[in-house]
Amino acid sequence: MNPAEECPRTEALSAWVDNELGEAVRAELAAHVAGCAICAPVLAEFRQLHGAFAALPELAPDVDIAPLVDRRIAAAAAQPQTPPRPPPQRMRWWQAVPLALGGVLSLSLGAYLGSMLMLGSQATAQPAMRQMAAFTAIPPGALALCPTRQTCNPLER
């Protein structure tokens, strides 16, 4: 046993209670426990727990499980067996050609219609911008400089 092992030596003490230690290791541990104030109470608790388990009442089912199991097995055997589903067939490369062509065609059509829509929106946006220019503070054709402050800001008096 490793002398540097920390106390309580829980694993070794637990294995001792289970009678799973070799004779030499058990003797060495017994000598240690006799003089160790940490390991001795742990061993006592493990032994007490072992005794408490031994005192647990015997539990048994109140029915015979065998006929219940037998009935379920018989019921399962009487059910018609569903035929196994055939594995899904793998697609050949030539079967995928129409799908690929359809995909390319759809993408091309989408790109074409999208570009047409963009061009149309640019053509209609320009006249609207010209009409809106009448409502700006600077009339069309005027210079950007204000002759008086009131011209640019009529609320200011």
Partner 1 sequence: MLAPEGTDEDWIRRAQTGDRTAFPELVRRHQTAIYRFLLRMLGSHEDALELSQDTFIKAWQALPQWQPEAQFRTWLFRIASNTALDALRRRKLVEFVPLEESFDAPDSGPDPERQAQATQEVRQLAASLQKLAPEHRQVLLLREVEEMSYEEIGHVLALSEGTVKSRLARARAALIEIHARRRP
Q: Count interface residues toward partner 1 (CB under 8 A).
A: 33
Shortest spacing between CB 87 and partner 1, in angstroms: 23
> Which of 68, 104, 133, 138 touches partner 1 by CB under 8 A?
68
Structure tokens at 100: 């690929």
- Under rule CB under 8 A, residue 11 binds partner 1: yes
Question: Is 46 near partner 1 (CB under 8 A)?
Answer: yes
Q: Judged by CB under 8 A, does residue 94 bind partner 1? A: no
- 7 near partner 1, judged by CB under 8 A: no
**The one-letter amino acid at 37:** A
Q: Is 129 in the site for partner 1 (CB under 8 A)?
A: no
- In angstroms, the CA 32 to CA 35 distance is 6
Q: Is the backbone of residue 80 left (phi > 0), alpha (psi -120 to 50) or beta?
A: beta
Stretch that binds partner 1, among 50-58, 81-89, 104-112, 132-140 (CB under 8 A): 50-58
Helix, strand, coil distribution of the chain in percent, nearest 5: 60, 0, 40
61 counts as binding partner 1 under rule CB under 8 A? yes
- Residue 47 in contact with residue 17, Cβ under 8 Å? yes
Among 2, 3, 4, 64, binds partner 1 (CB under 8 A): 64
Contact in structure between 7 and 33 (CB atoms under 8 Å): no
Q: Given the rule CB under 8 A, which of 17-25, 101-109, 126-134, 138-146 is the region that contacts partner 1?
A: 17-25
> Residue 15 burial (CB < 10 Å; 0-12/13-18/19+)?
middle
Q: Which residues bind partner 1 (CB under 8 A)?
A: 10-11, 13-15, 17-18, 20, 45-46, 49-50, 52-61, 63-70, 72-73, 76
